[in-house]
Structure 1
């Protein structure tokens, strides 16, 4: 199903062309998966977000990553590659079709030892996890981000980073709710609840980046945080 929000960029066309198309696309097998996803209109992260994600993981020298929302396994594969052989990605998804496609992706990429795919609803899976992570990437149902956040903060190491994708809702997130289509109002309210929870929180360092449909970056400054 076509995700209309993916095709309503917030940035001007010429800036979008610079960050999305003039930056190098992924190469090798990962590039083939990326291009096939574009052809099939599969909602993977756009190239500017993928480029940033690869760059950022290398800079923070992450070794343990948690992902919520595997889809076809593109971003998990990208992160595993960026970290190298000593890095590990744990990724969660509940959709059978995506799980099958992701497993094929990991096999094709030769990354089955570096990526653990947990099948299930993140709401149920997250409380069972006991490891700590350097980086957590949320790219799933936007209305669930605020629900997942407390557990993600529990699992994140101090000074670790949570990256939350698609937080602009095609630029409508700051509109008056009456201007938002009724079908999108739950997401609208949940995303604004997320902003309310983190932007002024005294124990979080937060920034917003205009990548794709918006990226929210959250760094945890102390061990125990209440949201």
Structure 2
């Protein structure tokens, strides 16, 4: 938790209830220790989708489908979501959840490693005006070149978990050895986003940290 827990709890108390089926999926994911987007990020996505009304959404990292289903609640009628997942057990659960909520016509789940799928989509000339990055944090920097090929001017890229629950501000030796590669790559990613001439980026200390990047 980056912000004060009491403040976060109070803000959450002001939020409206999500649809019952989504709430069930969220609760089950938490029971199963599946990492899903936190409440502040849910609220941010809802606000951005209702404000921007994108036509095509790309999500990198479907997990059990919760975030795609959440976005499908607030996007426009003609909008479509393409989401990517490589873990077989999560793919199976995501398909089950998408069917349970009845969003098969709104969400396309592509199975495979995100790096390979992104390269394929970019080669096909696909364009997405709204992207949500929520996959392996150490790979964000490697995904960026193909992301850039598919994000048109005016499009937005939202990247989740970029502050790693505050650990990103630590020195390399202030994090556990097994997390040092992820730590250094995320710092590189944040620097790249905030210094690229193609982007206007802000970093928000909500959830585990979120960036909003608009393609100029």
Q: TM-score range by the shorter chain?
A: over 0.9
TM-score (norm 2): 0.94
The structural deviation recorded for 1:184 is: 0.9
Query: For structure 2, which runs of at least 5 residues remain unmatched after alignment?
Result: none
- Give the match's secondary structure for 1:159: coil
Q: Distance in 2 between matches of 1:162 and 1:154?
A: 12
Q: What is the SS of the residue equivalent to 1:53?
A: helix
**Pair 1:42 & 2:42 matched:** no
Q: TM-score, normalised by structure 1?
A: 0.90
1:206 deviation in Å? 0.2
Q: Kindly provide the CA deviation profile for residues 27-49 of structure 1, in whole angstroms up to 9, marking residues without a partner as x.
A: 22112212222333321101111
**2: CA distance, partners of 1:34 / 1:153:** 31
2:183: which partner in 1?
A: 188
Matched, 1:137 2:129: no
Where do 5+ consecutive residues of structure 1 fail to align?
1-8, 222-227
Q: Distance in 1 between matches of 2:154 and 2:104?
A: 28
Distance (whole Å) between structure 1 residues aligned to residue 202 and residue 115 of structure 2: 25
Distance 1:206 1:37 in 2: 30
Alignment match, 1:106: 98
In structure 1, distance between residues paired with 2:190 and 2:27: 33
The equivalent residue for 1:72 is 64
**Residue of structure 2 equivalent to 1:149:** 144
Match of 1:208 in 2: 203
Q: CA RMSD in A?
A: 1.3
1:163 aligns with 2:158: yes
Alignment of 1:88-99 (within 5 A): 88-99=80-91
Which residue of 2 is the match for residue 175 of structure 1? Answer: 170
Deviation at 1:21, TM superposition (A): 4.2
